[in-house]
Amino acid sequence: MQENREKCMELANRIYDLDGEVYKCVGSALGRTFTGSRENTVQNLCMLMLTKPDGHLLRSELALISNMARTIKDKEAKDRMIAEYDNILEEIEKLPDGFGKVDIVDLSRAELNPTTRKKLSGDDHLVICISRTQGSAGNDIGFELADELHINYYDVEIFNQVLKRLEAEKGSVNDAETESFADFDKYKKRNFSLKTWFREFNRYHGLPRQDAVFFNMSDLICSLARSEDCVIMGRCADAILTNNHIPHISLFISAPFSLRIQRLMASKNMEFRQAARFLRQMDRQHQKYYDFFTGGRWGRPENYDLCINSANYGIRETIDLIERMIDEKRK
Amino acid sequence: MQENREKCMELANRIYDLDGEVYKCVGSALGRTFTGSRENTVQNLCMLMLTKPDGHLLRSELALISNMARTIKDKEAKDRMIAEYDNILEEIEKLPDGFGKVDIVDLSRAELNPTTRKKLSGDDHLVICISRTQGSAGNDIGFELADELHINYYDVEIFNQVLKRLEAEKGSVNDAETESFADFDKYKKRNFSLKTWFREFNRYHGLPRQDAVFFNMSDLICSLARSEDCVIMGRCADAILTNNHIPHISLFISAPFSLRIQRLMASKNMEFRQAARFLRQMDRQHQKYYDFFTGGRWGRPENYDLCINSANYGIRETIDLIERMIDEKRK
């Protein structure tokens, strides 16, 4: 502790001196960072170093000095002061509490995030889950991304076809194709007799039909992600894979409402009001589906690894951005 | 139109043939993608190519074929079929409506996004605006990012110091330091007399004091972004720069509530309930500040270029991710 305090005193003095020197070189109208006496300043800096809760204040003071140092015209003087600054920063990092920096990391999730691992292990696959809002070009982006990476692409149409065939093959029901966002409404009234209800109940091992389809889908998604590199669109795939501890990247692609409307008007020949109504309806359905099956909240940044605003990039640049993000780890 | 139709017929036939060949090689239990007769299938495919609204269905069919093709064991046969697939895809892209793909792009914003430009022009600077939720380590990330890129770092403490000095220098008021999130409450009742109200009114050219400080801050942020590379934390800098047509990257860093609590408990020695209360309060204040000055909605992915979930990466990997994202364009 005593040793620690001495080290802090030394660093505080060096910071005070650096500030003075930088000020002499820059002659800034803003004056020195520390306007008080050496004694008071050193005392204050020491306290910031010794009490981690306010570490960010120390950092701000240092940033202010280095910001000024970078404007020094004389190259030699500038290099010298930046070097001293870097050195001080390093020493502070070495203090027991540094800047009071505590990492933020969800270990169980980060472990499943291929871009945070040094390398994908031999058994792992590059699985990119993409959720998106209607009209944000998320599907175009996912399809082209898969094509460029030479990996498989799965969207709702493909899942339904595959499920239908798997079911048919097992001699089981083949009505999986009716499960889609557009139809999804957990609370919609249905025309059904007690007889059909019993038939449905038995068929799906006691699960409501909708849930049974979801569980089939989940199985399919898990086995795909365990066996191949792929892009999976929607289907809460990110939540399903997280629950099953299968590595994947989760992306959310969206764009401002007004731009999604414009795009729908152009791509589906819709009128403004029709497009707006359609979008609102789709957003509600996406949200209902996601919230119901994941318990999370659809479209909140903390549900995904990364959210991309496709309107600020365009389709081509969004794909480039994603490729840049994952590239290094695949090499 | 006639020519177009013939081209579509040719492509549809090639797609049908490719599906048959792939099926022969794979012998998949799932059967062919197209189970109908050649005549019907070709007709349907043609319709998908000619009517752009449902282009995504065509894409799904093709993806299903290529997904299967990739599983072909015989290398020579596989290469041949993938080549044919790529060729078909290219031809479809060349059709007037392709897959009905319409780009999504906010030109006025994309123009200001340094990562979408081929290169930063000589006059432009790399300005990285970071908004973040309390406890997501956004400040640590911003500070280290600036340090590694050797560019200036500005956060609320620095802004307040700079503003205070600028004001003092102008012989004007120097109470800018009281404008901070913690104090921000547009609707808080204040103890004031008519006299102080008049004084404040005149001092800020008729603007409420809070707004005046915001406008000073805006000026400062614009002149910084016009003159140097830097990282700017919070202060609605992204919205301010967009309004002033100044290029920048806008990031939002967040993490799940539970992880932010854990981090606060570790870094500020808070108890669980205290940390939770503090976080909720700070989130509310951030939101109120952002929504009031931008008219947008704080923390919605469509307000930013990119949202990063720091808990899924950790501090170090988040910085790497951002650097990877901007690196190429700076070289």
Note the pLDDT tens digit of each residue in A207-232.
555 666 666 788 888 888 988 889 99
Question: Tens digits of per-residue pLDDT, B173-218?
Answer: 444 444 444 444 433 444 444 455 445 544 555 555 566 666 678 8
Mean pLDDT of chain B: 78
Interface touch A67/B153, C-beta < 8 Å = yes
pLDDT at B100: 59
Among the partner residues B161, B307, B324, nearest to A324 by beta-carbon distance: B324
Q: Whole-angstrom Cα distance, residue A321 to residue A125?
A: 20
Question: Tens digits of per-residue pLDDT, B259-288?
Answer: 899 888 887 778 899 999 999 999 999 888
pLDDT at B199: 52
pLDDT bracket for residue B36 (50, 70, 90): confident
| Chain A contact present for B152, CB below 8 A | yes
Q: Are B141 and B219 in contact (CB under 8 A)?
A: no
Q: Whole-angstrom Cα distance, residue A273 to residue A292?
A: 28
Interface touch B101/A315, C-beta < 8 Å = yes
| Chain A contact present for B67, CB below 8 A | yes
Interface touch A313/B304, C-beta < 8 Å = no
Question: Tens digits of per-residue pLDDT, B128-170?
Answer: 999 999 989 999 899 999 989 989 899 888 888 777 776 665 5
Tokens of B10: 């040719």
Cα of B250 to nearest chain A Cα, Å? 10
* CA-derived radius of gyration, chain A: 28
pLDDT more than 70, % of chain B:
73
pLDDT at A172: 47
Residues of chain A with pLDDT under 70: 1-2, 27-31, 51-55, 97-101, 108-109, 112, 114-123, 166-215, 327-331
Q: At residue A129, what are phi and psi to the nearest 5 degrees?
A: -95, 125
Beta strand extents in chain A (DSSP E only): 127-132, 152-154, 230-233, 249-254, 306-309
Interface touch B315/A101, C-beta < 8 Å = yes
Under DSSP, is residue A162 helix (H, G, I), strand (E, B) or coil? helix
Distances (CA, A) of B282 to A107, A318, A324, B183, B221: 25, 32, 34, 11, 23
Tokens of B256: 């799940």
Mutation site for B-interface testing, chosen from A163, A230, A312, A331 by largest number of B Cβ within 10 Å? A312
Does ipTM top 0.85? no
| Chain B contact present for A78, CB below 8 A | no
Mean pLDDT of B47-63: 74
pLDDT at B97: 62
pLDDT at B233: 93
Collect all residues of chain A within an 8 Å Cβ-Cβ radius of residue B303. 309
Among the partner residues B267, B268, B305, nearest to A309 by beta-carbon distance: B305
pLDDT at B250: 92
